[in-house]
Structure 1
């Protein structure tokens, strides 16, 4: 008898229906010659640090780095029942063969292998590898089961990824949390991603907008713009010079251009497009796609391929016709398609691109939740546009001369709408904010040496703009392309994380309050919190470098292909952590959110932001502000007093404090006096003594609090 193990109950039910396992048992389905059961996500996971040694319950610098020689695993309490069911089924005498039917990818392989290993099973294993949950695909997959050994490198890659994430997460999180006396979440992929978000935010904060000016000729049927000028007086001088003068066409260039149809979606491009057009987060898109996959409406979503295999041509033709039927006849009339554009065996590895299945019908859309409905429609539209004709247009550039100055105008004429006719129709059905560049219109017929007399001119003012904040669309692109800076365009992508894990990384950054989403429903940006900026500031390059993490991800791909030893990869990670613990020292004055006591002691007298306590000073959390009260202050030391937190708070909130028993170096006697803070905005804050007999009216308001603090000091 054969035991089939799927990743989720819903997938197991689909497989059981095809195999005839219709008898429902506790935790599995049974048929004549087959049992079908399931995991519930990760049934077995890496044990926490304290399982290796009880002393690791406490976080201490001297215990780092924690590098297990023999890895330990455990079954979470809430999943023990299902694990025990699987273990019992594996050990049954009637079961002679196991079929791994978890999701056909790196994590699916790891989920099954850890269960198989933890259960101590040694029975032969076959692998089911399919990209669709349709009945036909499942039947075909079982006819082509492969030996489990073919996927050993995939398992090794998954295991290395899990162990590397454990090592970096445990050691780096403990290291920085201990040094800065608060919990700071650090991760192998999470921290470089945070660094990219903070770097973009910092570039925007540091950006200084500069004005520019453009003189524009207003001509019959079109306009022509001069070069951008930084000085307004120069632009106005040119404006006056050209007003009412003649302009002559010196050059007319017309070039025919072609835009090829877009490729099909892999998971990352699907997430990017769904974010840009529909406002969905990467995690929402993944969740919707997974649900559609389990409902047999789309193919396997966790893929990095954008092509189909040649043997899919016939089946895809039927799906394409179903997709076309979703559009009005006036849109599809005369629309030509070519399936060959989608087919390339050399560019499909484990899974092909994401497309709808034969279950795609118009009435299906109506029965789906809105999110799934919109995503399925997006996939159907992409299948149609990817098979369409090229979009062709002619672009005309005209150069004119006016008063010996060059002016340029561009126009565009559509020659063949091609695939863009469907895309334009689809986008018009969406309530998208118009953020894209205004479409260019055709120019009137112009010829060289054509002259325009008494031209009218106007002056346009503009400003240089900073880089844009990341959206999930643009951040996913940056994560995908990390590590490609110095490589040729056709080089294999490295990237941060994988298509399947990037959404989870973004959600963890949000959950740990290092990053937040801001903006309206359709146009949310990703911005670092104060704590996120502070954490990225103190992290060393070896932890937050996107390039280094992309290199690690690339090495995991090489392990997956059997081209790199897992032992070498893990040795590199371990050495990296040893070096980090050995060399890193806490920043003496951490950024505001990582101060020893992140609670404000009062307002900054210079910018009204919050003043926090550091190891050596009280400082303004505003990075651009220079205000600080140094604890090792000579004024207070000479009087044998300390500039404590309480004293600093009084000075900030009230401007003064009454202190008793101040020491006089000249008379060697003690005296009482008011200490007044006088901040002139310089490098150092000044203080003076006030011996005024009788407290002033203002001091009366604050004397009670000041005396209380003075008694404590």
Structure 2
């Protein structure tokens, strides 16, 4: 028997139906010489820090950096049952081979290998590597199973990625949270992405708009515009000079141009278009596309390629027919299948396209989000196999009252791929001859302002993540940018859920705006944790690990070395309490530094990170007298340095008494003493 392990139950069912495993078991399917079971995403993940040492349950700077010598994995509480099923199946004597049918990518490899290793398995391993969940693709995949060892590099790359994220997340998050007295999530990719957003907002804030003025001539069927002018009186003077005057045509230049069809979609370009055109978040688009993949209507989603392989050229006409049916339009003529096929530009998976099965599906019955994504993918295929968009652009210069003006017009010659887009065509200019006089029907002065940079949307941020650091890296670098197509959506969602970034809608556009705490975090982060270039270099090194060009230990040593240096040298910024206000009610002023003292679960503490002043609620002085250090008592001590208490318990006599408690702060520790003087009776009692 052969054991097939997929990533999800739905995928297992699709595979089982094709290979004849139709008999249901407990957590698996059986038949045709196969057992088919599944993971539930990541069944096992890297263990928490306190698994290595119980002292790590508390966050302390002196314990950093935490660098495990031998890594441990743990199974989630809600996933133990399925893990036990897989472990039992793997260890069965009649299982001769284990087939990895998890998603054909870095994370899918990690999900399978972790279970394989934790189960102590040494049986032969094969790899199912497919880009579509169609029955025929599954059959071909099983006919061409790959040796598992061919993907050892991919597994090592995935493991390094997981460990690096754990190390940076655990150590940097604890370091900055302890130093600034609030939870500050820091991530290997998340923090540089946040830095991009914060930098953009800083550019917008620093921008000072400048007014400018243009003189416009209405010339019948078109408008000619003059140069931008800084002074309004100058523009008004030109307008006055042109009033009731004719304009003379100067140069007329006509050029024929063409725009190549776009390439097919990879995940990132699809997410960008879906955000710009449909308003979907990157995560929504990935979720819709993943569902279409599992329904056999689209090919594998987490791809970074925008081409098909050369051997797929013969299938392009049939796929185009599917796309025309989905979009309700005609097929392009001629159909250029070859221009979307280039094996040299395909890595692990080819571009996202609809499957042949999508042509038989009832698209109208799909959920709205999936339907729109399927149509977008289909439309992109139609555009990609179409002719170039060809047009003639005419540029004209005019002279009016010895002032220059210009106008442009566009005439479509061949719509080509743009026939599938609902774009408003530019107006053509009328036929114009050099030296001809044209009547000016109206003259106007238009005021404008220089525009600041635009807030990031998910569309533009994904583009920035994709190219971050690229200019400073060698041209032959294979993987550039922040994160991968598979991980970018999750990074954006985490920035929002952790409160560092907010989605704000204005009209139809949803912008990504950093919160106050997000800006503050970037302010205190050192360069190495917010540098897109460094993180992009790490992504490239992970690709080198995958190809066997870099040892995994060398990659991990670089991460560990950076964290050792960070913990050793980083000093908190002075005055950072202004950057990270707690939002808690102020109980009083600190007697040491004058900062705000606020209440927390364990006492009343100064919010100045450089000051150690605090009044602990469980201190022995008040406990011995069976009194509680309440907020009112703390406020009086901070304001007057003393407070009158009634009913204090005497450990010697067992009786109660009234006294005044006096606060004495040495600058290093807080002490209390009692005063029974008569002058204290004048104070009010609490």
Q: Normalising to structure 1: TM-score of the pair?
A: 0.81
In 1: Cα distance, 2:11 partner to 2:93 partner: 25
Distance across 1 between alignment mates of 2:111 and 2:534: 27
Gaps of 5+ in 2: 597-607, 611-630, 643-682
How has the CA–CA distance of structure 1 residues 333 and 158 changed in structure 2, closer, same or farther, with 3 Å as cutoff?
A: closer
Equivalent residue number for residue 106 of structure 1: 106
Equivalent of 1:514 in 477, 495, 500: 500
Listed one character per residue, the Cα deviations across residues 94-149 of structure 1 (whole Å, up to 9, x for unaligned) are 00111111000000000011111111100010111000111100010011111111
Maintained 8 Å contact 1:589/1:616 = no
State yes or no: 1:398 paired with 2:382. no
The alignment yields a C-alpha RMSD, in angstroms, of: 2.9
Give the drift of 1:660. 12
TM superposition shift of 1:405: 2.7
* In structure 1, distance between residues paired with 2:395 and 2:144: 58
For 2:450, which of 447, 453, 464 is the aligned residue?
464
Write the deviation string for residues 429-456 of structure 1: whole angstroms up to 9, x where unpaired. Answer: xxxxxxxxx7531111112222336674
Bigger shift: residues 302-311 or 214-223: 214-223
Other-structure match for 1:341: 339
Indicate whether 1:552 and 2:538 are aligned: yes
**In the alignment, which residue of structure 1 is the partner of 2:515?**
529
Distance 1:368 1:538 in 2: 47
Inter-CA distance 711–157: structure 2 relative to 1 (3 Å threshold): farther
Report the CA distance between 1:314 and its aligned residue: 2.5
Whole-Å separation in 2 of the counterparts to 1:305 and 1:511: 30
CA separation of 1:229 and 1:304: change in aligned 2, threshold 3 A:
same
Conserved? CA contact 1:482–1:547, under 8 Å: yes
8 Å Cα contact 1:27-1:82 kept in structure 2: yes
Whether 2:485 is the aligned partner of 1:499: answer yes
Give the alignment of 1:576-591 within 5 angstroms: 576-590=562-576
Structure 2 residue 466 is matched with structure 1 residue 480: yes
Shift of 1:31: 0.9
In the alignment, the residues of structure 1 paired with residue 506 and residue 609 of structure 2 have an alpha-carbon distance, to the nearest angstrom, of 45
**Bigger mean CA deviation after superposition, 580-589 or 318-327:** 318-327
Corresponding residue SS for 1:551:
helix
Q: Report deviation, 1:262.
A: 1.0
Between the aligned partners of 2:125 and 2:204, the Cα distance in structure 1 is: 54
Classify the secondary structure of the residue corresponding to 1:68: coil
In 2, are the aligned partners of 1:21 and 1:31 still within 8 Å (CA)?
yes
Aligned to 1:72: 72
Give CA deviations for 1:267-300 in whole Å, capped at 9, x if unaligned.
Answer: 0011111111111111111111111111111110
The answer on whether the counterparts of 1:326 and 1:362 sit within 8 Å (CA) in structure 2 is no
Specify the alignment match of 2:130 in structure 1. Answer: 130
**Is residue 308 from structure 1 mapped to residue 293 from structure 2 by the alignment?**
no
**Cα offsets for 1:179-220 (capped at 9, x unmatched):** 011111111111111111111112112221111100112223
Determine the C-alpha separation between the residues in 1 that align with 2:192 and 2:592.
26
Cα offset, 1:616, TM superposition: 7.0
> Please, what TM-score do these two structures have when normalized by structure 2?
0.84
1:269 and 2:269 correspond: yes
Deviations 1:213-243 (A, max 9, x none): 0011222322211111111122222222332
- What is the match of residue 636 of structure 1? none
Change beyond 3 A, Cα 1:36–1:660: closer
Residue aligned with 2:471, SS: coil
**What 5-or-longer segments of structure 1 have no aligned partner?**
428-437, 603-610, 619-629, 633-644, 651-657, 662-709
The separation in 2 between residues aligned to 1:333 and 1:537, in whole angstroms, is: 54
- CA gap of 1:415–1:183, structure 2 versus 1, over 3 A, is same
Q: CA offsets, 1:495-548, max 9 Å, x none?
A: 111101011011111111111111169521111111111111111111111111
Inter-partner Cα distance in structure 1 for 2:415 and 2:33: 56
Alignment of 1:143-154 (within 5 A): 143-154=143-154
Shift of 1:487: 5.3
Distance 1:613 1:550 in 2: 48
Q: Give deviations 1:23-47, integer Å, cap 9, x for gaps.
A: 1011111114111111111111101
- Work out whether 1:375 is the aligned partner of 2:373: yes
String of CA shifts for 1:617-640, please: whole Å, max 9, x gaps: 67xxxxxxxxxxx999xxxxxxxx
8 Å Cα contact 1:394-1:413 kept in structure 2: yes
Q: How far, CA to CA, are the matches of 1:473 and 1:309 in structure 2? A: 27
In structure 1, what is the equivalent of residue 171 of structure 2? Answer: 171
Q: CA deviation at 1:492?
A: 4.0
CA 1:153–1:490: 2 relative to 1, 3 Å:
closer
CA contact 1:297–1:357 (8 Å) conserved in 2: yes
Question: Could you say which residue in structure 1 is the equivalent of 2:405?
Answer: 407
SS of match in other structure, 2:308:
coil
Q: Distance in 1 between matches of 2:175 and 2:641?
A: 43
Cα deviation code 1:531-584 (max 9, x no counterpart)? 111111111111111111111111111111222221111111111111111111
CA distance 1:411–1:67, shift in 2 (3 Å): same
Does structure 1 retain, via aligned residues, the 8 Å contact 2:321–2:331? no
Name 1:639's counterpart in structure 2: none
Quickly say closer, same or farther: Cα 1:74–1:521, change in 2 above 3 A: farther
**Cα 1:176/1:105, change in 2 over 3 Å:** same
Q: Give CA-to-partner distance per residue, 1:396-436, whole Å, 9 cap, x none.
A: 11112234332111000000011111122xx7xxxxxxxxx
Residues 572 and 368 (structure 1), Cα distance of their counterparts in 2 relative to 1, 3 Å cut:
same
Q: CA deviation at 1:246?
A: 4.0
In structure 2, the residue corresponding to 1:337 is in which secondary structure? coil
Decide which moves more: 407-416 or 444-453: 444-453
Between the two proteins, the alignment pairs up a number of residues equal to 611
Distance 1:359 1:615, change over 3 A: farther
Tell me the equivalent position of 1:351: 349
Residues 614/151 of structure 1: CA separation in 2 closer, same or farther (3 Å cut): farther
Q: Using the alignment, how far apart are the partners of 2:592 and 2:230 within structure 1?
A: 44
The whole-number CA distance in structure 1 between the counterparts of 2:594 and 2:161 is 40
Q: Once the 2 structures are TM-superposed, how far is the Cα of residue 247 of structure 1 from its aligned partner?
A: 2.7
2:583 aligns with 598
Distance 2:263 2:201 in 1: 32
1:631–1:179: structure 2 CA closer, same or farther, 3 Å change rule? closer
CA distance in 2, matches of 1:554, 1:631: 38
Partner of 2:628: none
For residues 333 and 97 of structure 1, do their structure 2 counterparts lie closer, same or farther at Cα, with a shift above 3 Å needed?
Answer: closer
Mapping 1:282-293, distance limit 5 Å: 282-293=282-293
| Distance in 2 (alpha carbons) for counterparts of 1:154 and 1:97 | 20
Contact 2:326 2:363 in 1 (8 A): no
